[in-house]
Chains A and B, each alone.
Chain A
């Protein structure tokens, strides 16, 4: 168990840089998630940590040891793949024992440790089966046991839940998180699923185009997104294009004049609003910003309603309201007053978009 440090890690194929100087510190026992759309460089970063992709520049350290040039088999990293990657010709027990065998562990030690690892993933008694006789979720747990049994310095998870069906995914992600906390393993997981990332991580790293956009906790990313990309990628936002004309004043391209935090820099900007921070009806009148509009679309989400409100020819917002049985659900075409406090405005200079 140890910390993991990436320092200026870079990967280029010819002129194309797929990972651009990524520097990260994963603390001992921390669960870090690399989150981003496909092609953002998160998987390449993970594969560099595992040793399958040689970096073009920068370094990787586990604790104090520089592992940048070490081959995968000398890194002591436990790896779990999207496809599980079990050895089809070996039994579950043989799969789990493989890493111990490679480490020349004593025969008397292998049996108990394999049994312990299988018990950890709740698969005791499955040792003699072959992978093809197990369900997807069970195979995934074998893969996890196989990675854990070698007591790795870091645990690397490459989209481990993508091949599971939706219901199982919810269960397995809690299991993985519980196991990680129980073992105290320094863990890096790659995913494109933000909900998965938000539920499992201690800290998250949002990547796009090979670069780190923001590193932080769930609330850091949601409440204080570093740029428009993060605001758009993590959670939902509606965007209003315009200009910050004076400190604390935003004029939209559609002509709305809105109050925003005074810290927003002057110049062309995009204003992002989280749907649940907006209010409708009479209560809206007391807020910093209140604008009349027309409901253009209402989507029923069960516990919540999404109300799309057109404010003028250019600007529109989405308001999320709880679905209360008070008969106040707006209908398409209704005139609605929408309001929100200045603090709900996330303003990003246009260049950054």
Chain B
């Protein structure tokens, strides 16, 4: 009786797990499949297979510049997000001060606020700042990076704080007693110890920034579009498998980043 119940439970658990996995993977599988369809209007079953849509990407200026802009923005925003997050996390994890908890929550806020709302808010802020100072902010690469930094920060802060919580402070004190000042201690002992959190935070920040559409829509200037915007614009006129091909490239890019990261840092241990 007992054994039967346990067996049924295990079957149910596996069933649900595989169903969920299938549900998550299904769009990826279909998009990838679609990218190789020969015909222009997607329909089942496919009339044949072709690689021409991948070639079409290279001939589309929007996709090429979009990819380039997205890369620049995501990398810059991730770097800035890390430089801000590491000191912030150190303070949040180690200093007891009034408003500590509130500050932690505040830094996670960009995760909660809808992208459209945040885009509007930053848009208005940038316009007002531009009027007040005369500096060309709105539509500039810097303005776009500033916005993206905001959505990177919750990830970097979150993951760096988590890895700091597991760090034995005695190791830092040992370094200091051996003659290392605070800077040396940080770079030689603290940073190597929290490296998994830093790397994972960077990866998630990068992915978030790279895939962001809603906020970017408000912040891009003429002739400067990100890859998600390029995809959206393309879809307004056509639904041929070029979009699927671009998506496959994007999936490969992110999957590649994760695999490379996982080689150095076991992501499952951090997240």
Residues of A within 8 A of B (CB): 50-52, 71-79, 81-89, 98-99, 102-103, 143, 146-147, 150, 156
Contacts and interface: CB of A to CB of B under 8 A. Distances in A.
Contacts of A75: 177
B115 to A, nearest CB: 38
A94 B179 CA distance: 15
Given A87-B189, A88-B193, A89-B192, A72 B177 contact: yes
Given A89-B192, A89-B193, A102-B184, A83 B168 contact: yes
Contact of B173 (A78, A85, A86, A103): A85
B176 interface: yes
B173 to A, nearest CB: 6
A102 B179 CA distance: 6
Interface in B132-182: 168, 170-171, 173-181
Given A88-B193, A102-B184, A81 B178 contact: no
21 contacts: A51-B176, A52-B173, A72-B173, A72-B176, A73-B177, A77-B177, A78-B177, A79-B173, A81-B173, A85-B171, A85-B174, A86-B174, A87-B188, A87-B192, A88-B193, A89-B193, A98-B175, A98-B180, A99-B178, A103-B179, A147-B178
Q: Which 10 pairs across A and B sit closest by C-beta, in order of nearness?
A: A102-B179, A85-B170, A99-B178, A79-B177, A72-B176, A85-B174, A81-B170, A89-B192, A85-B171, A73-B179
Given A72-B173, A81-B173, A102 B168 contact: no
Given A89-B193, A102-B184, A83 B177 contact: no
Of residues A51, A52, A87, which shows the largest number of chain B Cβ atoms within 10 Å of its Cβ? A87
Contacts of B175: 87, 98
Nearest to A72: B176
A285 B168 CA distance: 61
A82 to B, nearest CB: 8
A73 B181 contact: yes
A84 to B, nearest CB: 8
Contacts of B174: 79, 81, 85-87, 143, 146
Contacts of A77: 177
Interface of B: 168, 170-171, 173-181, 184, 188-189, 192-193
B170 A71 contact: no
A178 B255 CA distance: 57
A86 B178 contact: no
A325 B175 CA distance: 57
Contact of B178 (A51, A89, A98): A98
A150 B179 contact: yes
A327 B193 CA distance: 63
B173 A50 contact: yes
B266 to A, nearest CB: 14
A102 B180 contact: yes
Contacts of B188: 87, 98
A283 B181 CA distance: 67
A156 B178 CA distance: 12
Given A50-B173, A102-B184, A85 B168 contact: yes
B95 to A, nearest CB: 15
Contacts of B193: 88-89
B171 A87 contact: yes
Nearest to B179: A102
A60 B177 CA distance: 16
Contacts of B184: 102
A164 B168 CA distance: 18
A126 B162 CA distance: 32
A150 B170 contact: no
Contacts of A98: 175, 178, 180, 188
Contacts of B181: 71, 73
Of residues A52, A82, A85, A143, which shows the largest number of chain B Cβ atoms within 10 Å of its Cβ? A85
B164 to A, nearest CB: 15
A85 B168 CA distance: 7
Nearest to B173: A52
Given A81-B170, A85-B173, A146-B174, A99 B179 contact: yes
A73 B176 contact: yes
A89 B168 CA distance: 13
B177 A50 contact: yes
Nearest to B195: A89
Given A83-B168, A85-B174, A87-B171, 5 more contacts: A76-B179, A83-B170, A98-B188, A99-B179, A146-B178
A150 B173 contact: no
Contacts of A103: 179
A73 B182 CA distance: 9
Contacts of A71: 176, 181
Contacts of A76: 179
